[in-house]
C-alpha cells in the first residue's frame, strides 16, 4: 500500500478517476488481508526479518501479510519502543504517539495520521514544573487527544503537546512524606480515577515500595490509601470502569493477589499464586474483568471481578513453556485482547505455534485467535520484549523489536484492517476451568 505515500502529488489534486483507483487499490489490499487472515494453530516458522527501511518506511510481514511501519531509527532515537502493554502508545483518536526514544527512558511525542498511515513532526517532552514526568505510567487521556497524564514527584500532571504546557491535576505533598514519589499510574477510561504505587528513596541509590492509593478527581479525594510492609508490592492497576483495583505482590499480608472493590470500601477478594487459586501473573484489566497468564497451567485466563474464583481459559499453550507474554486490553472492543509472545527458552520444547508472534485472542473462552505478525525481537534483556499495545479503535498495534538481535530496539506500528475485530473464526468449545 505504498501507493498512498510514494507519490509527491497531494491527494486532492488527483483526478476523480485516479482518486477512485487509489481508493480501490487500498481497499482491495485491506480486504485481501482480511480474507487471508490466519486463525489456526499451525506452526509458522519465523522467516528472516525483512530489510529495515528508515523511520517512516513501510513493509509487509512475510508470513501474515500485515503492513508494518518503522517509527524510530538511528537518526531519531537512542533506543526506541513502547513502555508497556497497558500504557498506551496511541492517544484516543490516533493522532499522536508516545514513543520511548532515550536510553534513560525519555520520550518524544510524534504526530501520526491514521488515514494515510504516516508520521508527522515530533517533539521531546520537556521538563515539567517540578521535574520530568515518569514515563513508565504516563497515560493518554481517554477523552482529550491533546492530554497526557503522568506523575512528577508527589503530583499528577496533565501535559498538553500542542502547547507544551503542564496543568497540575492533584498534589499529595501535604499527604505523604517529602521525598516520596508516585510510581506507575493507571487510570479509568473517563479520566476520573487514578491508581498508583508510592515509593521512597532508601539511601542506597534505589527506592522501596511503601504504599498504594486510589485518587478520585471529581472531589479531589483519596478513596483508598493503603500503607504496606516495605516492598510488599509489585504493582496496582485500576480497571477501565474505575471500580476495581488489582493489587499484585502483597504477599506478606495477603495471598499476594487482591481484587479490591472501591464501591464497597475497598473490600478484598484474595487469590493465591498456586493451586487452587492460580492468581494471574502478567495481565491487563478490561472493564470489570482481568486477563492474565497462569504461571502453573501455561494458560491465559479470564477472571470476572464480580466472581473471580471462576476461571475461563482464553488460550492454552499446552506443554510449550518456552515463551513469555504480555497482554493489552486497551481496545474499546473487549471481545478481543492483544497478546505479544516472545521466546525465553526456545530449546526447552519442540517448535510450537505463536513463537515470537503478536496475536489477537478472543476473551470469551472460545480460544479463537487472529495471527498478526512476527515481531523478530530476540530476547536478551527486558527492553527487547515487544510489550505490544493496541489502539482504542483496534486499527493499530505498537511494538518494540531489536529486529533479529541488534544492539538497539526500535518502535514499530502495524496497521490492522477495520474488519479484523469482527472476524469470527470457527468456534471452539468454551472452556471454564475449575478453581
Q: Determine the Cα–Cα distance for residues 260 and 93; give it in Å rounded to an integer.
A: 31
pLDDT for 346: 65
Collapsing DSSP states into helix, strand and coil, what is residue 102?
coil
pLDDT for 351: 80
Q: DSSP states of 298-323 as a string?
A: TEEEEEETTSTTSEEEEEE-TT--SE
Residue 77 DSSP symbol:
-
Q: Mind listing the pLDDT tens digit for each residue in 99-113?
A: 999 999 999 999 999
Q: Mind listing the pLDDT tens digit for each residue in 342-378?
A: 999 766 667 889 999 999 999 999 999 999 999 999 9
Nearest to 133 by CA among 102, 176, 110: 102
Domains and CATH numbers, the chain: 33-76+283-435 (no CATH), 125-272 (2.130.10.10)
pLDDT for 419: 61
pTM of the model: 0.89
Q: Determine the Cα–Cα distance for residues 266 and 238; give it in Å rounded to an integer.
A: 12
Burial annotation 213-250 (CB, 10 A radius, 16+ → b, else e): bbbbbeeeeebbbbebeeebbbbbbbbbbbbbbbbbbb
Residue 25 DSSP symbol:
H
Report CA-CA distances (Å) from 103 to 75, 229, 408.
14, 32, 10
pLDDT for 417: 81
Q: Mind listing the pLDDT tens digit for each residue in 145-194?
A: 999 999 999 999 999 999 999 999 999 999 999 999 999 999 999 999 99
Beta bridge partners of 38: 371
Q: Determine the Cα–Cα distance for residues 94 and 80; give it in Å rounded to an integer.
A: 19
The stretches in the chain having pLDDT less than 70 are: 1-35, 346-349, 418-419, 421-435
**Residue pair 173/156 in contact by the 8 Å Cβ criterion:** no
For 331, the grid coordinates are: 481496545
Question: No. of H helices and E strands in the chain?
Answer: 2, 29
Q: DSSP states of 3-69 as a string?
A: HHHHS-S-GGGS-HHHHHHHHHHHHHHHHHHHHT-B-S----PPPPPPPPPSTT-EEE-TTT--EEE
pLDDT for 123: 98
User: Is there a cis peptide before residue 276, judged by omega within 30 degrees of 0?
Assistant: yes
pLDDT for 103: 96
Amino acid at each position: 500500500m505504498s501507493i498512498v505515500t510514494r507519490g509527491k502529488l497531494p491527494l486532492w489534486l488527483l483526478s476523480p478517476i485516479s482518486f477512485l483507483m487509489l481508493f480501490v487499490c487500498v481497499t482491495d489490499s485491506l480486504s485481501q488481508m482480511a480474507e487471508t487472515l490466519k486463525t489456526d494453530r499451525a506452526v509458522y516458522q519465523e522467516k528472516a526479518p525483512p530489510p529495515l527501511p528508515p523511520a517512516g518506511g513501510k513493509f509487509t510481514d512475510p508470513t501474515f501479510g500485515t503492513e508494518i511501519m518503522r517509527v524510530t531509527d538511528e537518526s531519531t532515537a537512542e533506543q526506541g519502543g513502547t513502555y508497556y502493554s497497558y500504557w498506551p502508545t496511541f492517544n484516543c483518536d490516533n493522532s499522536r504517539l508516545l514513543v520511548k526514544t532515550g536510553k534513560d527512558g525519555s520520550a518524544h511525542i510524534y504526530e501520526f495520521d491514521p488515514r494515510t498511515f504516516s508520521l508527522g513532526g515530533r517533539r521531546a517532552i520537556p521538563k515539567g514544573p517540578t521535574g520530568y514526568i515518569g514515563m513508565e505510567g504516563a497515560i493518554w487521556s481517554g477523552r482529550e487527544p491533546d492530554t497526557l497524564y503522568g506523575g512528577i514527584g508527589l503530583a499528577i500532571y496533565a501535559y498538553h503537546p500542542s502547547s507544551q504546557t503542564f496543568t497540575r491535576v492533584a498534589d499529595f505533598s501535604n499527604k505523604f512524606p517529602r521525598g516520596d514519589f508516585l510510581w506507575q499510574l493507571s487510570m479509568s477510561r473517563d479520566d476520573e480515577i487514578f491508581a498508583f504505587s508510592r515509593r521512597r528513596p532508601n539511601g542506597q541509590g534505589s527506592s522501596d515500595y511503601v504504599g498504594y492509593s486510589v485518587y478520585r478527581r471529581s472531589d479531589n479525594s483519596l478513596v483508598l490509601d493503603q500503607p504496606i510492609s516495605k516492598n510488599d508490592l509489585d504493582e496496582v492497576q485500576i480497571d477501565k470502569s474505575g471500580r476495581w483495583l488489582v493489587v499484585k505482590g502483597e504477599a506478606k499480608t495477603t495471598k499476594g493477589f487482591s481484587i479490591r472493590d472501591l464501591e464497597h470500601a475497598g473490600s478484598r477478594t484474595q487469590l493465591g499464586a498456586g493451586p487452587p487459586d492460580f492468581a494471574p501473573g502478567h495481565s491487563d484489566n478490561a472493564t470489570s474483568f482481568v486477563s492474565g497468564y497462569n504461571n502453573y497451567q501455561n494458560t491465559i485466563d479470564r477472571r470476572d471481578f464480580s466472581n473471580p474464583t471462576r476461571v475461563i481459559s482464553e488460550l492454552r499453550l499446552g506443554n510449550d513453556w518456552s515463551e513469555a507474554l504480555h497482554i493489552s486490553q486497551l481496545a474499546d472492543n473487549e471481545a478481543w485482547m492483544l497478546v505479544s509472545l516472545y521466546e525465553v527458552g526456545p530449546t526447552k520444547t519442540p517448535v510450537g505455534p505463536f513463537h515470537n508472534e503478536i496475536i489477537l485472542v478472543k476473551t470469551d473462552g472460545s480460544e479463537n485467535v487472529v495471527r498478526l505478525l512476527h515481531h523478530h525481537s530476540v530476547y536478551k534483556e527486558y527492553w527487547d520484549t515487544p510489550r505490544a499495545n493496541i489502539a482504542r479503535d483496534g486499527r493499530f498495534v505498537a511494538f518494540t523489536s531489536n529486529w533479529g538481535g541488534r544492539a538497539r530496539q526500535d518502535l514499530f506500528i502495524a496497521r490492522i484492517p477495520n474488519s479484523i475485530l469482527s472476524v469470527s473464526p470457527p468456534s471452539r468449545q468454551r472452556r471454564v476451568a475449575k478453581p
